[in-house]
C-alpha cells in the first residue's frame, strides 16, 4: 500500500492506528520471503505487536462510554 492509499483510508474515516497497521502489514507481506534473515523477521514481529497494541488501544477508546 502506498502513501496515497494510506491517505484514502484516512479520508474514509478509518482510525489512524488501523491505517498505519494496514500499511505496515501490506509492506511486510511483499518483503518477507523464506530467505529473509532472522533479525528482519524479528523486527517484523516487533512491528506487528506495536501496531496491534495501537489498534487495540484505539478500539478501547472507541468502545468506552
Using the contact rule CB under 8 A, the part of the chain among 9-17, 35-43, 55-63 near another protein is 35-43
| Residue 22, C-beta contacts closer than 8 angstroms, at least 6 positions apart | 1, 6, 9, 14
**Alpha-carbon distances of 45 from 13, 26, 39, rounded to whole Å:** 27, 14, 10
Find the shortest distance in angstroms from Cβ 34 to another protein. 6
**Candidate residues 13, 34, 60, 63; the one interacting with another protein per rule CB under 8 A:** 34
Q: Applying CB under 8 A, which part among 4-12, 14-22, 28-36, 54-62 lies near another protein?
A: 28-36
Query: Which of 12/38 has CB closer to another protein?
Result: 38
Amino acid at each position: 500500500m502506498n502513501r496515497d492509499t494510506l491517505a484514502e483510508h484516512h479520508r474514509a474515516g478509518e482510525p489512524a492506528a488501523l491505517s498505519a497497521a494496514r500499511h505496515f502489514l501490506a509492506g511486510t507481506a511483499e518483503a518477507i520471503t523464506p530467505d529473509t534473515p532472522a533479525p528482519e523477521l524479528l523486527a517484523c514481529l516487533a512491528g506487528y505487536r506495536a501496531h496491534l497494541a495501537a489498534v487495540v488501544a484505539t478500539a478501547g477508546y472507541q468502545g468506552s462510554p
